[in-house]
């Protein structure tokens, strides 16, 4: 942890060397997700509800997924630039340092500019809380926290898989973005609106629904099943196969010529 902070400080120092770039990127990140918010807003200006979810509910759902994604992105997105780390040989350097590879990859790229997105998510969150009629009892708050941490872990797992694939292809695979950036986009609506089969896929294969759909139902009072509240914990287990896959990848690391 201490090392992570050290890394963070050195990266902050480097990024501050390019101040204008830093603030513009943060602003850009902010605006990008803001347009998504406007999209939802305008749609609800025409319709009152989507598959039985009101505007306030969708907003809450969106802000939760956005916040967990932004958190994961801010701290774990080192993996997103992983194809670059492999092809420029930086991974060789990581391998000769006596620390866990994953920790090093994570801390080598901390994106402070993504704080813009996090800020946005928080803003929307505050707005959604204000609009929604959820009564914030202890278990509701716990559900919310579980949703956020569950989301963080599932997204982190996806980033790890994305990076692990690079060991075999030496290049990033764009299709993985369906589950990361894509999930953020289509995750603004509860997954049930996409139909039964999509929901099943997102429950059993890539457990996005475990921290979004089911606990969300509980959160807004559409379900009384307290089991739903703890489903995000199950979703967190998703990182285990992801890490195993990563290990398997490291064994197959080929390095690039020098």
Partner 1 sequence: MIELKNINKTFKAARRNAGLSEAVKALFKKEYTYIHALNDVSFTINDGEMVGYIGPNGAGKSSTIKIMSGILTPDSGECIINGRTPWKDRIAHVREIGVVFGQRSQLWWDVPVADSFELIKEIYKVDNATFNKNLNELTELLDIGEIMRTPARQLSLGQRMRCEIAASLLHSPRILFLDEPTIGLDAVSKIAIRSFIKTINKERKTTVILTTHDMQDIEALTERILLIGRGKILLDGTLSQLKKKNSTRKTLSVDFLGKISEVSHGMSISKMMDGHAEIVVETDIISVSEALSIISNQVEISDLSVTGTTTEELVVSLYREFEI
Exactly one of 28, 84, 89, 182 binds partner 1 (CB under 8 A); that residue is 89
Q: Cβ closer to partner 1: 2 or 130? A: 2
- Interface stretch with partner 1, choices 31-39, 94-102, 187-195, 225-233 (CB under 8 A): 94-102
Binding of partner 1 by 96 (CB under 8 A):
yes
Identify whether the C-beta of residue 161 lies closer than 8 Å to the C-beta of residue 245.
Answer: yes
Q: How far is the CB of 162 from partner 1 (least distance, A)?
A: 22
Binding of partner 1 by 127 (CB under 8 A):
no
Identify whether the C-beta of residue 20 lies closer than 8 Å to the C-beta of residue 96.
Answer: no
Q: Which residue pairs, CB below 8 angstroms and at least 24 apart, start in 244-248?
A: 245/160, 245/161, 245/164, 246/102, 246/160, 246/161, 246/163, 246/164, 248/164
Site residues for partner 1, 11-70, by CB under 8 A, read 13-14, 17
* C-alpha span between 51 and 46 (Å, rounded): 14
Binding of partner 1 by 254 (CB under 8 A):
yes
Q: Cβ closer to partner 1: 174 or 224? A: 174
Q: How far is the CB of 221 from partner 1 (least distance, A)?
A: 49
Site residues for partner 1, 203-242, by CB under 8 A, read none
Exactly one of 20, 135, 138, 257 binds partner 1 (CB under 8 A); that residue is 257
Bridge partners, 50 (sequence order): 53
Contacts of residue 6, defined as CB under 8 A and 6 or more positions apart, other chains included, come to: none
Q: How far is the CB of 251 from partner 1 (least distance, A)?
A: 5
Tokens of 256: 């690039």
Binding of partner 1 by 133 (CB under 8 A):
no
Where on the chain is the footprint of partner 1 (CB under 8 A)? 2-3, 6-7, 10, 13-14, 17, 88-90, 92-93, 95-100, 251-255, 257-258
């Amino acid at each position: 942890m201490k090392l992570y902070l050290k890394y963070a400080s050195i990266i902050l120092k480097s990024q501050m060397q390019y101040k204008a770039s830093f603030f513009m990127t943060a602003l850009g990140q902010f605006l990008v997700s803001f347009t998504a918010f406007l999209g939802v807003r305008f749609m609800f200006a025409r319709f009152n509800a989507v598959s039985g979810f009101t505007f306030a509910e969708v907003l809450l759902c969106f802000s939760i997924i956005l916040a967990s994604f932004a958190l994961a992105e801010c701290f774990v997105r080192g993996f997103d630039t992983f194809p670059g780390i492999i092809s420029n040989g930086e991974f060789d350097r990581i391998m000769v340092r006596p620390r866990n590879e994953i920790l090093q990859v994570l801390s080598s790229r901390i994106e402070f500019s993504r704080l813009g997105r996090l800020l946005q998510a928080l803003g929307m969150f505050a707005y959604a809380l204000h609009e929604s009629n959820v009564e914030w009892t202890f278990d509701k708050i716990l559900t919310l926290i579980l949703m956020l941490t569950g989301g963080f872990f599932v997204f982190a797992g996806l980033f790890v898989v994305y990076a692990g694939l690079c060991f075999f292809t030496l290049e990033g695979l764009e299709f993985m973005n369906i589950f990361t950036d894509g999930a953020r986009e289509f995750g603004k609506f509860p997954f049930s609106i996409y139909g039964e089969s999509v929901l099943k896929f997102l429950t059993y294969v890539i457990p996005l629904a475990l921290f979004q759909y089911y606990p969300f139902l509980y959160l807004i009072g559409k379900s009384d099943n307290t089991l739903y509240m703890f489903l995000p914990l199950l979703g967190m287990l998703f990182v285990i196969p992801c890490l195993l896959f990563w290990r398997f990848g490291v064994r197959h690391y080929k390095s690039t010529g020098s």
